[in-house]
Every structure is written in structure tokens, then in C-alpha cells.
Amino acid sequence: MPQPSIKPEGDERWIYVARRHWIALVLRALAPAVLGCIAGGLLLWRVLGRGPDILGRVPPMLDLLNGLLIASGMIMVLGLVYIYIDWKNDHLIVSNKRLIHEDRTLLLAYSYETIPLDRIQNVNVRVENMLQHVLKYGRIEAQAAGPTAPIVFTRAERPNEIQVELMKEVSREKREQEQRRLKAAIQHRLDPSVAPPPPPFAPLEQQLRTTQSWLQGLLPLGPVLEGKAIIWRHHWVTLLRRLIGPVVALVLWVGALAILPGIEVLSPTGTTVLLVVLLLAIGFAFFWQYSDWHNDLYILEPTRIIELSRLPFGLFEDRREAPLAVIQNVNAESPNIIARIFGYGNVLVETAGQSGNFTFDHVPDPD
């Protein structure tokens, strides 16, 4: 069975990796398998049952109907391959730090739902009928404190075993956190000047670009480390999407440049003025869209996160921020095949503060 695609962070390690029961694969594959068998049976019957007509002519083996049956069978086979890959790529991971639901759909999409162990309140298992009891599968639901949606993993293999392992790690993590708090309180009482513990090592920060050329500063393609802050912008695909309108306008302007002087609708001076004004307007549209893209920032600092949205020329600015202490949960998703191919997606940061949730839209490498 393939291992999860998501990797442990820092000193994190996987304690238990659960997958969906094989019955989930059977139930999803039942319809395409039956339809494929019907198409294959009809094709075999028509091929073996061929006989000459009243004129002694043998019908061709590959007629229109047989071609449709072959195509239908191939589609069902591809559907079964897709269902199998999708089934084996779903995992529920219990680590020594968090619970993770990894849901990957071939090359089409993926999503990661996570809940830190210290925020898990209860873990419920539901086995609804005799078949689930005999085959040892069911539904597991982990509920967190606050507004965070629960993680639900249906048709899980050995759900009671998952529940035991998860609650064991939850109890251990909460016990160790309490011990650390008591130790820190005692140290502070004995020596108020004691230094706080160092921040955890983040390997990702060592990979971020700290120096940029003028071209990289003009078109940053990934997160940038500036001082102690990590800065994201929307993926460059978002910029291309915004520039579609100006590009179409530029193509039309080139066409007007070739046509207008010949048809003499305006005087030469009037035509020149019109073309220059239109070109300036198109250039301004390019600048506006680029500047609007470049000015939208998602910032992670050592103590807070910031979402900054600004229009060019200071016409509008919306700045939201929240301390890291109020962050409850962080989920990532790449919602479609285009996002998977170009490597971008969304990150949802759930907080317990009045700022509400933060959504980092269309950022590179959301996972």
C-alpha cells in the first residue's frame, strides 16, 4: 500500500496510517465493473454469433455497434483504474503532533485537513450494521475545540483501532504539554529572567530565497523570506488570468492599427491621436492588473499572520492580521487539475479570534 504523500514536519513522525476498507473500493467499482462486463459480454456474443446473411455475406467484425461496445468497455476500464488510484490515495494519519486527512484524486485535486492533537476533544466511531461489524469497517469522526469542522473518515479499516491509537496520542500530547507548562512556570518563578525556549527549527525557511535579482523582484514565483517574515503572493497563473483582457485589447489595437489608416474614417491626425490614446489606455490596464496582483500579500511573521490587499495608487487597502496564538487549524487544498499541474491552491487558516478565518488564495505550493 503506498505511503502518504504528505511528509512529516521537523521532529514529527507517523504513529498510525489508516486507509479505507476494501469494501469502499468494491462499492465504488461495482457500477462500472457491471457495465464493463455487460459491454464485453455483448461484444463477445456479437463476434462469436456472426453468420452469413441470405446473400452469403459475413458481416464485418468491427461495425459501428461493436466499436461503441469496445469504446464503452475501455471507458469502464479507465474508470476502474481511476477509482482504484483514488481509493488507495486516501489516508488518515495519526502523528505525534496532529491528525491529518489526506485526500488526493489522481492528478485532479488534493486536500489536507489537519487538527493538532491538543485541540481534539473527542473521537467517535460509528459501525452502523452487521456487515460493517463483520468486515471491521466504519466511520470515524474527530471533533476539535472551537469552530473547526470535524475530520470525518468514512469506511475506515479497523476504526476502533484508529480510535485507540489516536486517543493514546491525544492523551500523551496533552500530558506532555501540561508538564511543559508546569516546568516553565517553575523556572520562571525561580528565575524570572530565564530566556524563553528557542523557536522550533523550520527546514522550509532555509529553502526560501533571501536575495533577488531585479527580475525575480518584478515577478516573484514563490514565497520570499524578508528578514523574519515569509511573504506569499498569488501564483503567476492568477496574473496571466488577469492579463487576458488587456492582451485581447492589445490584439484588437494591432488590428485597428492595420485597418484604420486604410479606410480613412478619421483624418490622419485623428487616427493617430485615437490609436495613441487607446495604446496608453491598454498600457495602463496592463500596469493596473500587474500592480494589483503584486500588491496583494500574505505574510507570516514570527508572532502573527497578515493578509494585505491593496489597489494601485493607494486607492484602497484592507489589512487583516491575527496573532499566531489564536490559530486553531490550517488546511490546504489544490482544487482542480489546472491547479495541480501549475502547483498552486488555497490555504485556510482557522482562528479563534475576532478576525475570523484567513484564506490564502491561489498561492504556490499550498501543502
Q: Give, rounded to a whole angstrom, the gap between the first and last alpha carbons of the chain.
A: 22
Domain identity same for 44 and 163: yes
Domain identity same for 226 and 335: yes
Residue 5 falls within a domain, yes or no? no
CATH at residue 45: 2.30.29
If the chain, 367 residues long, is cut into consecutive pieces of 10 residues, what is the mean pLDDT of each piece? 76 91 94 93 84 66 85 93 91 93 84 89 91 92 82 93 93 88 82 68 60 71 82 92 94 89 78 91 95 92 90 88 86 89 90 81 90
| Distance separating alpha carbons of residues 40 and 61, to the nearest angstrom | 14
Residue 7 falls within a domain, yes or no? no
Q: Write down the pLDDT at residue 202.
A: 59
Domain total of the chain: 3
Q: Write down the pLDDT at residue 211.
A: 56
Q: Write down the pLDDT at residue 56.
A: 64
Q: Which grid cell is 313?
A: 495608487
Domain identity same for 23 and 165: yes
Residue 194 falls within a domain, yes or no? no
| Distance separating alpha carbons of residues 117 and 169, to the nearest angstrom | 7
Domain identity same for 302 and 227: yes
Domain identity same for 217 and 313: yes
User: How many C-beta neighbours within 10 Å does residue 101 have?
Assistant: 19
Domain identity same for 215 and 334: yes
Q: Residue 77, SS3?
A: helix
Residue 198 falls within a domain, yes or no? no
Q: Write down the pLDDT at residue 74.
A: 94
Residue 158 falls within a domain, yes or no? yes
Total residues found in the chain within this entry: 367
Strand partners, 347: 332, 360
Can you give the C-alpha Rg of the chain in angstroms?
30
Residue 4 falls within a domain, yes or no? no
* Phi, psi dihedrals of residue 239, rounded to the nearest 5°: -65, -45
Domain identity same for 71 and 145: yes
Q: Write down the pLDDT at residue 313.
A: 86
Domain boundary among 140, 169, 198: 169
Q: Which grid cell is 270?
A: 485623428
Q: Write down the pLDDT at residue 265.
A: 72
Domain identity same for 68 and 142: yes
Dihedral through CA 86, CA 343, CA 94, CA 200, nearest 10?
170
Domain identity same for 338 and 283: no
Domain identity same for 226 and 254: no
Residue 9 falls within a domain, yes or no? no
What's the predicted TM-score (pTM) here?
0.75
Domain identity same for 220 and 266: no
115-120 contacts: CB < 8 A, separation 24 or more?
Answer: 115/142, 115/144, 115/148, 115/151, 115/329, 116/329, 117/169, 117/170, 117/173, 117/174, 118/170, 118/173, 118/174, 118/177, 119/144, 119/145, 119/146, 119/148, 119/328, 119/329, 120/144, 120/166, 120/170
Q: Write down the pLDDT at residue 84.
A: 92
- By residue range, what is the domain housing residue 272? 241-291
Q: Write down the pLDDT at residue 252.
A: 93
For residue 267, the one-letter residue type is S
Domain identity same for 302 and 273: no
Residue 174 falls within a domain, yes or no? no
Q: Write down the pLDDT at residue 344.
A: 92
